[in-house]
Amino acid sequence: MDKQKKVNNQYISGTAVNRVKLNNNVNDYKQKKNNYMWNDFKDGISHGILVSNLAYSLAKAMKLEEAECYDLALAGLLHDIGKLELSQYLYGRNNDGLSIEEMKYMRMHSKLSYDLLLDYHYSDNLMETVLRHHECYDGSGYPDNLQGEEIPLGARIIRVVDEFAALIADRPYRKAFDIDTAVDIMIEEVKNMDMVVFITFQRMIHEPETLQLIEKSKIEINDIDLED
């Protein structure tokens, strides 16, 4: 009886230890996932601010009306909000970029952004810009493979500044490119863009005012605590 009791006590003790280990692992996983999503959130804010400021400046350079410029500034800030919805499902993605399966999920983000904003009564122009900002001029984009002037002008503007902003930012799988290299990369992929928009962007990007705008768009939010 004493021997059996000892065995049972060892079993209970071992089970308790395993539960503690499991709870610690679960808590560790949750903390890492929260930190991961928080980093995505911070990156999204930084990216959105730069895209917003560049979109407004490019729209002004293209002589758009002030209301259209304002819509594009707001669209630039909100265009990737759907990625935050996806972040929790893509936790743990590696530093080599997205897998094919992860890319399929990521391509849902423009539609998710559109759906998330539907209840907030933004203008049709802004909503279409958010939905279409990954359409490519040659028809190879998403979500609907629109091409040429089927794509709203606002989306064609965001398409250019969004790519530029992504290229000059650090990514888990690469360091940020300098401005000249980023523009060279964009030239190689220019079939994806409206040439009129891109040429206007090229003229604008090296102007002192634009370089200052890029610097001013960099915000430091690393000191914000996750618990705040």
Per-residue model confidence as pLDDT tens digits over 201-227: 999 999 999 999 999 998 766 545 544
Instruction: Please provide the average confidence, as pLDDT, over all residues in the chain.
Output: 82
Across residues 193-203, what is the average pLDDT? Answer: 97
Domain boundaries, the chain: 43-216
Contacts 24+ apart (CB under 8 A), 195-202: 195/137, 196/62, 197/58, 197/62, 197/153, 197/156, 197/157, 197/159, 197/160, 198/160, 200/58, 200/61, 200/62, 201/58, 201/160, 201/161, 201/164
Q: What does the pLDDT read at residue 80?
A: 93
Task: Look at 18 and 139; give whichever has higher pLDDT.
Answer: 139
Q: What does the pLDDT read at residue 116?
A: 93
30 flagged as catalytic: no
Q: What CATH number does the domain located at 43-216 have?
A: 1.10.3210.10
Peptide bond into 152 cis (omega under 30): no
Where do we find the tokens 């996983």? 29
Q: Is the pLDDT of residue 104 over 50?
A: yes
Distance CA 114, CA 54 (A): 21
Q: Which of 32, 60, 83, 218 is catalytic?
A: 83
Q: Is the pLDDT of residue 105 over 80?
A: no
**Given its phi and psi angles, is residue 63 left (phi above 0), alpha (psi -120 to 50 degrees) or beta?**
left
Give which of 59, 105, 66 is closest to 197, Cα–Cα. 59
Give which of 79, 163, 180 is closest to 127, Cα–Cα. 79
Where do we find the tokens 């400021």? 53
Distance CA 192, CA 185 (A): 12
- Say if pTM beats, i.e. exceeds, 0.75: yes
Give which of 71, 96, 74, 88 is closest to 37, Cα–Cα. 88
Could you give the 3-state DSSP secondary structure of residue 99? coil
Q: What does the pLDDT read at residue 4?
A: 56
Across residues 36-49, what is the average pLDDT? Answer: 77
Q: Is the pLDDT of residue 26 over 60?
A: no
Task: Look at 84 and 193; give whichever has higher pLDDT.
Answer: 193
